[in-house]
Amino acid sequence: MKKIAIIIAAASITLQGVFAQNVDDALRYSQVFYQGTARFMAMGSAFTALGGDLSTLSQNPAGLGVFRSSEISVSPQLFHINSRANFHGVSEDYLYNFNLGQAGIVTSLISNNKTTGLISLNFGYSFNKTNNLHSTTRIQGTGTTSSMTDSWADASYGTHYTDLTGASGIAYDAWLIDTVTLTGANTYGTVFNNYGDNPSSDYGQEIGRLIPNEGWTGEHAISIGGNYSNKIFFGATFGINTVKYIGHYEHHESADYYLDSGFDNFTYTEHFTNYGTGISFKIGTIYKPTENLRIGLAFHAPTFYWIDEYYYDNISSNFTDNSHYEYENDPMVYSYSLSTPFRVLAGAAYQLKKVALFSFDYEFVDYSSAKFSESGDYYDYSMKNSEIRSTLKGASNFRAGAELRFNNLYLRGGYGYYGSAFKTGEVNANMDYRSLSAGIGFREQFFSIDFGYVNLSNNQNYILYNTYSESAMANLDFSRNIYTITMGFKFGY
C-alpha cells in the first residue's frame, strides 16, 4: 500500500524536532580550542599565566595588564584537515580553508612611571577564533547486515502509513519502505527484503556518505586590564561571540545485483545551518611572587548563545524499471538559546633569565552543564537537556609551552591534551584531542613577525544510522594542520 499524497500535519513538526538540537550541537559550541596569534598557537595556547599577547583576552584577560606599550597585530591562518574513515573499507578526504585567526589592538589608558600602586591600565580589543569547524569526511563501504532503509522501517513500526512523517515519510513515498503484506498498515519492510515478502534481507549494497561541514566559532573580546605594583595583573573581558555552521551529509546506497524489489539506488540528504550570536564574560588575575615566576587564574562564565537554525531533508530513488522518485519535507526553522559550561583555568610560567620561558595550563570544564532553552520556537527542551546531563561529563584540559631566545630570534614549542567530554560507557567515551605545536619568531623594538604550526588530532566513532539489530558505525580519524603568521606593530612607548 502506498499513501496517495504526502501528509503534512502538526505532528510532523514534533517528530522532525527530535532530530534538531542534540548533544552533538551542545558540545560543538561548548568546546574551545584556543586560537590566535602565531606565538600563542606555537606555545600550545598555554598563556593563562603569561599574558602580553592579544589572544589572552579570550583566555585570561589579566594578560592585558602585562602590556607595556600599545600594540596592533593581525594573524591570517591556513587550515588543513585530513580525515580517514574505516567502514567495511577505508576512505580518505581533505580540505583547505584560509581564514583570519586573530586581529586586535591594545592601547594605554593610564600609564605611570611609579613602581607601586596602579602603574598602568590598558584597553584591548581582539577578534579571536575559538574553533574552526570546517571538515570533510567520506565514508565508503559495503552493507553486510543492514541498510539505512532499515532504520526508517524500524522507526515507522506501529505507525499507520498515512501518519508517517519526517525521513520515514519521504522514504515511504520513494518506495524504499512499504507496509508488509498481510500484517496490516503498521509494519514495514524495505527494498532489500522486497517489502517483507522475502524471508531475509539481501544485503551487499555499496554505502557511501559524504559529510562536508563548514563553519567556525569566534569571539570579539573587549577588555580592560591593569598592572598593580608589578606584582598583580588583573583584567576582565566582555565577549561578543559568533557561531556560523553548516552541517550537511549525503547518504547514498546502490545495488549492482538483482533484487526482487527492482531497487537500484537512493540518495538521502540532510542539511542544516546555524547562525548565532552570544555574550560572555571573563575575569582573571596574574600574580608575580618573584621576578621569574608568574601564577595565573581565570574564570569564564557561561556563554549565552541565541541561535537560528534552518533544516531540510530530501530523498531520491531509482529502480531498474527506470522509475525515479524525489520527495522532500518542508524546511523547518528553529530559534533557541544555548548556555555553554563555565570554565576555570589555572597556570604557571617561569622565565629562565632572558634565555627561556616555560608555561603550563590546567583547565576544567563541565560539559554536562550545557543547556538548551527556547527563544521563539516554543519547544520543550527538558528531554534534550536531560540527555546532555546523562551523556556528557566534566573534562580536564592540559597545555604546556616553551620558548627559547637567541637575540632577536625565538624558537617555540607546545603540547595540549583536551579530555573526552563523554561519560564512561558512551560510544565516544575515549574521544580526546591532542595537539603538538612549534614555531619561530623574529622581534625588534617596534615590529615582530611570527610563524606558528599546530597539529590537532582526534578519533571518533560515527554512527551512520541505528536499527533494531545494530548501529552502523564508522571509525574516523581527524588530523588538523593549522599554519598561522602574525605581524605585530608596537607604538606609544
Residue 469's CB is within 10 A of a number of other CB atoms, namely: 10
Domain span including residue 136 = 10-444+461-491
Grid cell locating 474? 564508522
On whether residue 409 sits in a domain, the answer given is: yes
What is each CA distance from 260 to 174, 192, 195, in whole angstroms?
A: 16, 8, 9
Distance CA 243, CA 337 (A): 12
Cell 570579539, located at residue = 220
Which stretches of the chain drop beneath a pLDDT of 50? 1-19
On whether residue 185 sits in a domain, the answer given is: yes
What is each CA distance from 157 to 177, 185, 188, 195, in whole angstroms?
A: 11, 9, 7, 13
On whether residue 451 sits in a domain, the answer given is: no
On whether residue 474 sits in a domain, the answer given is: yes
On whether residue 3 sits in a domain, the answer given is: no
Q: Count Cα neighbours of 196 within 13 Å in the Cβ-side half-sphere.
A: 18
On whether residue 454 sits in a domain, the answer given is: no
Angle at 333 (CA atoms; ends 327, 339), nearest 5 degrees = 135
On whether residue 449 sits in a domain, the answer given is: no
On whether residue 452 sits in a domain, the answer given is: no
Distance CA 202, CA 189 (A): 12
Among the listed residues 440, 462, 465, the one whose alpha carbon sits nearest the alpha carbon of residue 451: 440
pLDDT digits (tens, 9 = 90+) for 194-233: 999 888 899 999 999 999 999 999 999 999 999 999 999 9
Q: Say if residues 280 and 288 touch (Cβ distance below 8 Å).
A: no
Stated pTM of the model: 0.91
State whether residue 55 is helix, strand or coil.
helix
Q: Tell me, what CATH number does 136's domain have? A: 2.40.160.60
What is each CA distance from 259 to 28, 124, 140, 251, 262, in whole angstroms?
A: 41, 67, 21, 20, 5
Total number of domains in the chain: 1
Q: What is the pLDDT of residue 452?
A: 98
